[in-house]
Amino acid sequence: MVADSQANAAPIGRTEYDDGFYIETLTDQRTGEPMYRSCTPGGGICRYSSDLWQAELYVQHLRAR
């Protein structure tokens, strides 16, 4: 189940890495707060966070899988 804040998030930017992993910058449409979605290539697995530092850690963790 997707949390309400994740379902209401609108993408506003994307940082792609050479190996296909990426971080999308989102804005929660209800609160206006920024959030980040760290994903594996193709978006099969994604993790959400409220700060960029945590999003970068998620990318490192997803790469290690």
pLDDT-derived band at 9, boundaries 50, 70, 90: confident
Tens of pLDDT, residue by residue over 38-51, are: 999 999 999 999 99
pLDDT band at 11 (very low <50, low <70, confident <90, very high): confident
For the beta carbon of residue 41, count every other beta carbon within 10 angstroms.
Answer: 13
How much is the pTM?
0.82
Q: What is the tens place of the pLDDT at every residue in 17-39?
A: 999 999 999 998 888 889 999 99
Domain range spanning residue 46? 4-63
Domain count, the chain: 1
CB 24 within 8 A of CB 39: yes
Residue 65's pLDDT band (cuts 50, 70, 90): confident
The identity of residue 18, as a single letter, is: D
